[in-house]
Structure 1
C-alpha cells in the first residue's frame, strides 16, 4: 500500500463501546488529568494577572510612577504570552511525534516549577533591577510550559470523548480553568485583606508557593494515564507525521488562522475582565477607585458562573452545533463591551462585581464551552496537537498578551478613558464573530481523518459516523 493510500484509508479498528469498563476508567483518568492541569495553569496565570494588576508595580517596579508601574507589570505579564507560541511549537511537535502523555508530564513540571520560584523571588527594594529581570525570566519559563499544556488537555479529552457527547465531555476539564481562577481569586482576596505591610511583605508569596502541591497531584495522575486511542491508531498504521511543523505551516495553516480568529474574543476578553478591569477600577484611572478586595469578587463569582456555563454550552454544542453556540458568545461580548466598560468607569463597587462576573461567566465562557471540542475537530490526526497549540498560543499573544499591556497603556495615556478598552474588546469580538463563518460545522467529526476541516466542504466536515454509539473521539 502506498503512503498516499494509507493516509486516505487508515482502516482503523472500532474502539471500545461506552459501557466498556476499561474505556470508562481511561476516560475518568483523562478527565482528571486534564482538569488538574487546567486548574494549575489558570491558577498560575490568574495569580500572576491579579498580582500584575494590583501589587507587582509596587514590589518589582517601584522606581516608576504608579500608572507606568502598572504598564510595566502588565508588560512582564505579556512576556509570558510571547513564549507560549514557542512552547506550543516545541512541545506540539513532540506531542504529534511521540504522543500526548509525556508532553503533559513535562509541561506541568516546567509551568508549575516556574510559578513556585516566583514566590521565592526578592523584590526591587532588595536587589534592584535584578528583581524584575528574574521575574521576567520565570514568566518566560511559565509561558513556555503553558504553551502546550492547555492544547494537550484539549486534544487529550477530545480524542477520548464519546462522539455524540464530545462537546460536553471535552468541556469538563475546563471547569479546572474556573477552579484555578477561583482559587487564585479567593486566596488573593483573603490575602489582600491583611494589613498592607504583611501582604506586601510575605503573604503575597503564599499562593505562588502553593503551586508545588498542585504539581505533585498532577504528576501522580498523569503518570497513570494511557495514550489516546487516535494516536495509537496513527502508530499502528505508521502514519505518525515525521515533520509536523512542515505540515502545519502548509496543509494546516488555514486552520491555524481560523483558530486564532475564533479565540481572540474568548482569550482577550478573559484577560481584560480578569486583569485590566481590576487595574482600571482599583487604580488611579477613575475618580472613585474600588477596593481591590471587593473588585476581585467579580472574578470569583464569574468563575463560579463559568463552572456551569462551560459544560452547559459544551452540551448545547452537541445538540445545535459548535458554530451556533460559539457565535452567540462572540456576539454577546460585542454587545456587552460598551455598556460594561462605561459601568466600570462609574466606580460603584456592586456594579463592578456584577459587570466582571457576567463578562467572565457568560461572555467569555459561552465561547470556551464549544471551543474545547471545536479546535481539535478542526485539525487532522497527524498534526492535531501542533495545530491546536499554534491556534491557541498565537491567539494568546495577540489577544490575551496584548490585552493587559496595550489596555493599560491606552488607559494611562488617555487619562482613564473607558471608551478605548471598550473599542478594543468590541474589535476582538468582531474578529471572533467573523471567524465562525470561515469554518464548517465540526460537530461529530471523525478524529481519525487526516485532512483539516477547513480544507473540506461543510457537508464533509460532519462525521458520517456521528450517530454511532462508539466510545472514543476517534470515530
Structure 2
C-alpha cells in the first residue's frame, strides 16, 4: 500500500486527484508565505528602525544588538523543531502546521502594538526579544510539516517540484515583507515611518493568518502519516530514535542547509537593507528603493527555486545542489562589489545574481530531506536538521557581518565568510548519496534506514 501512496494513492487505495494535489500545493505555498512574511518583517524592521526605536539607548552598538535579536530566535528553533517533530510524528503533520501558523501570527501582531523604549524603557526590548523567541519556536516547527505535506502527497517522479512549493514561501515572504515595507515608506515617509508606519506590516499579519488558517483546514493529512496511524506504527519516542540511529546524518544534513542559510540571510536577515540605508555608512541609499530592489531579487529567487526543484526530478537532488553551490559562490564574490557602488540598479544586480545560486541550493531541499529519513521519524529528522542548520548558518550571519565591517571597515572579510559557508554546504552535499525516488512509505523502513552517508552501510 505504501508504494501506492507514493505514486498518488491514498491509504484506502483511491487515487489522489489533480485537484487534491493542487489544493495541497496551494495550501503549502500560502501557509509558508504567511509564516515567512511574519518572520522576515521583523528582520526587515531591524535593519530599518528597531535599532533606533528599541536599542539605541543601550549604547553605540545598538545596531549590533538589534541584529543579534534576529539570531536569538534561531536558538529556539530547535525547541520548535523538537516539539513539532515529536507531535508531528505522533499526531500528524496537519495539526502541527495549524498551531505553528497561529503562534507565529500572534507574536507578529503583538510586535505591531508594542511600545518603544522611549515609552516603557528597558521593558520594550525585553518584550520584543520574547516575541521574537516565539517566532523562532514557530518557525522551527513550520518548515518540517510543510515539507512533508508537500512531498508525501507528491507522485514519486515529481517530489522535487512539489517540494519546491514550501520553499518558494521564503522568497514570497521576503517579497511580501519588502513590498509592504516599501509601500509604508511611501505612505508614511521620514518620521512618520518611525512613529507608526513600521507597525502596519506587523498588524497586517492578523489578516494573513486568517487566510492561511482557512486554506490549511481544507487539506487532507499526509498519506504517509495516515498509513502509519492505521498500522499503529508511529514511533513512541521519535526524537530518541533519531539521535540514536541517525545523529551523523542530522549533522551533515544541517550543514547542507547552513551553507545556503548564511548567504540567504544577508537579505532575509535584514543585513543588506541596513547596510545600504545606513546614513552614516558608505552608501546611504533611501529606504524605499533598497526595499524595492530586495523585493525584485525575491522574484528571481522564487523562479530559480522552482526551476531547481523541477530540475532535481530530472538530474537528481545531489547534482542540482552541486551546480547550485558553484553558482552561489559566484554570487557571493559579486555581491558586495556591486552593492558598494551605491547604484541601486547594480545593488539589485548583485542580489539577483546571488539568488540564482540560493534558489538552486534551496529548491531541492524539501525532497532531499524527506528522502533522507525513515517514515516513522521523518518529521523529527527534517525539522531538527533544518533547525540546527539555521543556527549554524543564518542565525547570526547578519550579526557576524556587522561585527566584521565594524572591525575591518571593509566587506571583503564578509565575502570570505560567506564563501566559507558555501564551501561547507558543498562538502556536506558530497558526503551524501542521492536517494531521489526512494519509496517514502512505512513498508520501506528497512530500505530507508540504510544510511545515505557515503561510507556507511546502515544508520
What is the TM-score with the length of structure 1 in the denominator? 0.89
- Relative to 1, partners in 2 of residues 1:358 and 1:221: Cα closer, same or farther, differing over 3 Å? same
Matched, 1:340 2:330: no
Match of 2:4 in 1: 14
| 1:327 equivalent among 319, 322, 347 | 322
> How far, CA to CA, are the matches of 1:358 and 1:453 in structure 2?
38
| 2:147 equivalent among 143, 154, 157 | 154
Q: Deviation string for 1:31-53 (max 9, x for gaps)? A: 12211121012111221111111
Match of 1:470 in 2: none
> How far, CA to CA, are the matches of 2:291 and 2:298 in structure 1?
11
- Relative to 1, partners in 2 of residues 1:125 and 1:100: Cα closer, same or farther, differing over 3 Å? same
How do 1:68-107 residues align onto structure 2 when only pairs under 5 Å count? Answer: 68-107=61-100
Structure 1 unaligned runs (5+)?
1-10, 462-475
Q: Secondary structure of 1:181's match?
A: helix
Matched, 1:391 2:381: no
Q: Verify the 8 A CA contact 1:160 1:228 in the aligned structure 2.
A: yes
Q: Verify the 8 A CA contact 2:293 2:344 in the aligned structure 1.
A: no
User: Per-residue deviation at 1:446?
Assistant: 0.8
> How far, CA to CA, are the matches of 2:384 and 2:15 in structure 1?
35
> How far, CA to CA, are the matches of 1:456 and 1:371 in structure 2?
15
> How far, CA to CA, are the matches of 1:347 and 1:16 in structure 2?
51
Q: Deviation string for 1:159-186 (max 9, x for gaps)? A: 0001011111221233332222111111
Q: Verify the 8 A CA contact 2:304 2:363 in the aligned structure 1.
A: yes
Count residues with an aligned counterpart: 448
Q: Deviation string for 1:139-167 (max 9, x for gaps)? A: 00111111110111011111000101111
| 1:455 equivalent among 441, 446, 451 | 451
User: Per-residue deviation at 1:292?
Assistant: 2.3
Of stretches 173-182 and 69-78 in structure 1, the one that deviates more from structure 2 is 173-182
Q: What is the aligned-residue RMSD (CA, Å)?
A: 2.2
> How far, CA to CA, are the matches of 1:35 and 1:119 in structure 2?
24
Match of 1:297 in 2: 292
User: Per-residue deviation at 1:16?
Assistant: 8.5
Match of 1:140 in 2: 133
> How far, CA to CA, are the matches of 2:456 and 2:252 in structure 1?
18
How do 1:353-432 residues align onto structure 2 when only pairs under 5 Å count? Answer: 353-360=348-355, 362-415=356-409, 417-432=410-425
Q: Verify the 8 A CA contact 1:407 1:421 in the aligned structure 2.
A: yes
Structure 2 unaligned runs (5+)?
none
> How far, CA to CA, are the matches of 1:170 and 1:24 in structure 2?
16
| 1:206 equivalent among 197, 200, 223 | 200
Match of 2:256 in 1: 262
> How far, CA to CA, are the matches of 1:90 and 1:150 in structure 2?
13
How do 1:463-474 residues align onto structure 2 when only pairs under 5 Å count? Answer: none
| 1:125 equivalent among 118, 143, 148 | 118
User: Per-residue deviation at 1:25?
Assistant: 3.5
Q: Secondary structure of 1:450's match?
A: helix
User: Per-residue deviation at 1:440?
Assistant: 0.7
Q: Deviation string for 1:248-271 (max 9, x for gaps)? A: 111121221111111112211111
Q: Secondary structure of 1:256's match?
A: helix
Q: Verify the 8 A CA contact 1:285 1:411 in the aligned structure 2.
A: no
